[in-house]
Chains A and B, each alone.
Chain A
Amino acid sequence: MIMSLKEMLSDDFSEEFLLCGNSACSGCASELALRWALKALGSKTVVVAPASCTNVYIGLWPGAAPTVPFINMAFAAGASAASGIVAGYEALGKTDINVMTWAGDGGTVDIGIQALSGAIERGTNFIYACYDNEIYANTGTQRSGSTPFGAITTTTPYGKPIHKKNISQIIAAHDIPYVGTVNGADPRDVFAIFKKIKDITGPRFVHLLSPCPPGWRFDSSLIAEIGRLAVDCGIWILWEQENGEFHLRGKSRRLLDKSNRKPVDEYIKKQGRFRKMTQEGINKIQQWVDGNWLAIEKTVKGQC
């Protein structure tokens, strides 16, 4: 991590590929993550962005924030359009360009999952990054398959009655060279992982937690803090699976022991989206988190 900090401040990575003055909300964690993902990948990168906040926050024609080739894409077509780009480059003998799909959670776990699953099954040489703000934020915060239990959205005005879909494990069940979760509000984590996966061949899936101030109802200055709390409470587990090998990463490595995890209400009480949550609901989330960790424990021990 110290190494990555030095690199991040070095001249090699000073160029911005997502320029300022765009239309992202103030304190957008997706913008922060994309900024560092692009720095890590460098100028020879092509981005496919299926319908999501990113389509809007890159700004208005004839200007735009990205300085790398960047195409807006239909909602369900993030992975399939990228497959086409990869196929085109391969056919034309251009092999030194990174192709990345940058999709929201709706475009990944819901409408885009078929194309995503297909692209991974075919071994497409691309990166699929899902920034998970746990709602359809671009259309005004409706519930998605990735919205957590209890969260208020415009289509779950009293809180969502079921837990979120575990997309990373669904992806891990594919034969994929790399799948990992990242705290999207921690640029050092984002930068380190994108630098690491840049040179892996084949499909790579990165799942980034992307705290959303207007959607989650917290002050815009708190994105990094909310991201840290999600990790510390064990709600967002940092792990990666490389060629079938599962590892916990970063702070999550010491959270297998429940006593090291903060209680989930520290995370929940900081966000207006959980304001209708009862103590019973909080307990339910705590049980869900603990259950997730039991599953992780089995995976980790099973491999020992």
Chain B
Amino acid sequence: MNKSKKQDLKKEDLPSFEDYRDLPHIPVSIGVKGSMGNTGEWRTFRPVINLSACNKCGFCYIYCPEGTIKFDKETGPMVDYIYCKGCGVCARECPKDAITMRRETEQVCENDEDD
């Protein structure tokens, strides 16, 4: 299994067991994203990154406890909203105040207006 593939495994990719005879001797788990599901659903506030204010220091990526912020030196950070739990540490640690925590419902309203 190569590096990127290992990191991209999701829970749906794991084998399921129809019959107990197919079970291994013991339950062992394989590393997957979303072992507890789409944890982005936990969020009350979502981090919204203003890339024009971002200095690409990478702090948000470094401080994200969950590792849901991808960082590219050229294009800057990007949040994986499927799993981001909305803790707000990235917004708090951003030295440029380029991340704001917006209430999820607020985001929906904005999207509606955009439509």
Contacts and interface: CB of A to CB of B under 8 A. Distances in A.
Do any CB atoms of chain A lie under 8 A from CB atoms of chain B in the complex?
A: yes
Interface of A: 5, 8-9, 15-24, 26-29, 31-32, 35-36, 58-68, 187-188, 213, 219-225
B7 A35 contact: no
Given A28-B65, A29-B65, A221-B87, A65 B31 contact: yes
Interface in B60-115: 61-68, 71, 73, 80, 82-89, 91-93, 101
Given A16-B7, A19-B67, A21-B38, A63 B83 contact: no
Given A26-B43, A224-B89, 20 more contacts: A5-B58, A18-B67, A19-B34, A20-B39, A20-B84, A21-B34, A23-B36, A26-B42, A26-B85, A27-B89, A61-B27, A62-B29, A65-B31, A187-B62, A188-B62, A220-B87, A221-B88, A221-B89, A221-B101, A223-B87
A32 B63 contact: yes
Interface of B is mostly: loop
B32 A26 contact: no
Interface in B25-59: 27-39, 42-43, 58
A27 B88 contact: yes
Interface residues of B, number: 45
Contacts of B88: 27, 219-221
Interface of B: 3, 6-7, 11, 14-15, 27-39, 42-43, 58, 61-68, 71, 73, 80, 82-89, 91-93, 101
Given A20-B80, A21-B38, A224-B93, A15 B3 contact: yes
Given A16-B67, A20-B39, A62-B14, A223 B89 contact: yes
B42 A20 contact: no
B30 A63 contact: yes
A16 B68 CA distance: 10
Nearest to A15: B3
A170 B45 CA distance: 42
A21 B83 contact: yes
